[in-house]
């Protein structure tokens, strides 16, 4: 019997591509829909805004080819050379923007993480504190819709680092990821728990459903982890990114669980964040003392990269918080298109 191999025209059953937000994203969408040559190549990125809607959407679309793809798009486009060249140019622009903004960021583990290990006295700028104390149900729904672009694939980007680690770091990272994926129980997978949260809030749980609603500051937070995960050269920064999330997750999750309870969002809505309070408190210790320490014992030259991953994560999360806070303070939606009421 001869094995014919996979069909060369197999198309992914994933989400829709959505609407373009400029010339770059339009070129990507058109190229994926029609298989025509790209209207704009890598040279078109030179003047692009690294924080703009157009670049961030184009980058997000290209990264999603490595996750679940898009409906009607040939799976083989994941490794299309023209798309990869454009993606590299977009990544270079994004990274240049980050490095420019973070030129004064810490370069050591101690300097990068020490401020995160003690909760600040002044939490006036904390989005989770705002939601805990005065958040309304419509704001919780918007927050969940935004975060769904990551949480419905929670922990997936971080898996890419495991083959690039050894010894203590590899074993510890695999143990944490095992927890993230439900410790062998499908109903406990964190992405599934978030889908249950969305159901409680009356949201569509389809993967990628709220892409058209998500503004550039949100896309940038998701694009960062995909960028770091797909490149072996950024393995240290991905560990720093993951560690930053785990270190800061538990206090914020505690506040968000209280917000869900106060607004009577539902049992599953509260459960998702309650789960992260305990799990991430444990993960924080493991990632700091086993993953980071193990990685730097093997590759001490990566310390500055780990610190950069932490700094970039905080910077992009602060930009997203500013975007949401400004909109809500004016009584406006933080989404590009408001959600329908339930």
Comparing CA positions, the residue from 239, 244, 270 lying closest to residue 256 is 270
The answer, yes or no, to whether residue 19 has pLDDT greater than 80, is yes
The answer, yes or no, to whether residue 10 has pLDDT greater than 90, is no
DSSP state letters, 45-101: GTT--TTSHHHHHHHHHHHHTTTT--TT-BGGGGG-HHHHHHHHHHHHHHHHHHHHH
SS3 11: strand
Over residues 192-215, mean pLDDT:
96
What pLDDT is attached to residue 123? Answer: 63
pTM value is 0.93
Could you report the per-residue pLDDT of 235-294, keeping only the tens digit for each? Answer: 999 999 999 999 888 889 999 999 999 999 999 999 999 988 877 677 888 998 999 999
Over residues 126-145, mean pLDDT:
95
How far apart, in whole angstroms, are the C-alpha atoms of residue 264 and residue 46?
48
What pLDDT is attached to residue 4? Answer: 47
Structural domains of the chain, ranges and CATH numbers in brackets:
23-101 (no CATH), 109-329 (1.20.910.10)
Which of the pair, 121 or 82, is modelled with greater confidence?
Answer: 82
Over residues 24-43, mean pLDDT:
85
User: Which run of H or E residues covers position 277?
Assistant: helix 267-286
Structure-block tokens of residue 273: 């964040």
Over residues 294-304, mean pLDDT:
97
Tell the burial category of 96 from Cβ atoms under 10 Å away from its Cβ (0-12, 13-18, 19+).
Answer: exposed
Q: How confident is the model at residue 120 (pLDDT cuts 50, 70, 90)?
A: low
């Amino acid at each position: 019997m001869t094995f014919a191999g996979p069909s060369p025209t197999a198309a992914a059953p994933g989400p829709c591509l959505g609407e373009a937000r400029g010339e770059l994203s339009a070129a990507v969408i058109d190229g994926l829909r029609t298989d025509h040559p790209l209207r704009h190549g890598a040279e078109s990125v030179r003047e692009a805004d690294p924080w703009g809607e157009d670049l961030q959407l184009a980058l997000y679309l290209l990264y999603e080819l490595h996750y679940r793809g898009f409906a009607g798009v040939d799976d083989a486009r994941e490794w299309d050379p023209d798309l990869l060249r454009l993606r590299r140019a977009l990544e270079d622009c994004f990274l240049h923007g980050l490095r420019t903004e973070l030129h004064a960021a810490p370069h050591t583990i101690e300097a990068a993480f020490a401020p995160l290990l003690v909760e600040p006295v002044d939490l006036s700028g904390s989005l989770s504190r705002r939601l805990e104390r005065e958040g309304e149900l419509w704001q919780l729904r918007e927050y969940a819709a935004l975060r769904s672009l990551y949480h419905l694939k929670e922990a997936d980007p971080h898996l890419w680092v495991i083959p690039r680690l050894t010894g203590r770091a590899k074993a510890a990272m695999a143990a944490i990821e095992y927890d993230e994926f439900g410790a062998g129980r499908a109903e406990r997978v964190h992405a599934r728990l978030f889908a249950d949260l969305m159901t409680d809030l009356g949201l569509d749980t389809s993967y990628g459903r709220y892409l058209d609603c998500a503004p550039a500051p949100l896309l940038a937070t998701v694009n960062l982890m995909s960028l770091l995960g797909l490149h072996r050269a950024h393995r240290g920064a991905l560990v720093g990114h993951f560690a930053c999330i785990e270190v800061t997750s538990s206090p914020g999750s505690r506040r968000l669980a209280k917000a869900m309870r106060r607004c009577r969002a539902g049992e599953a809505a509260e459960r998702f964040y309650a789960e992260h309070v305990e799990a991430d408190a444990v993960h924080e210790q493991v990632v700091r003392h086993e993953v980071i320490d193990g990685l730097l014992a093997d590759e001490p030259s990566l310390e500055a990269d780990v610190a950069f991953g932490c700094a970039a994560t905080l910077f992009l999360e602060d930009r997203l918080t500013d975007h949401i806070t400004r909109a809500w303070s004016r009584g406006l939606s933080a989404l590009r298109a408001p959600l329908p009421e339930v």
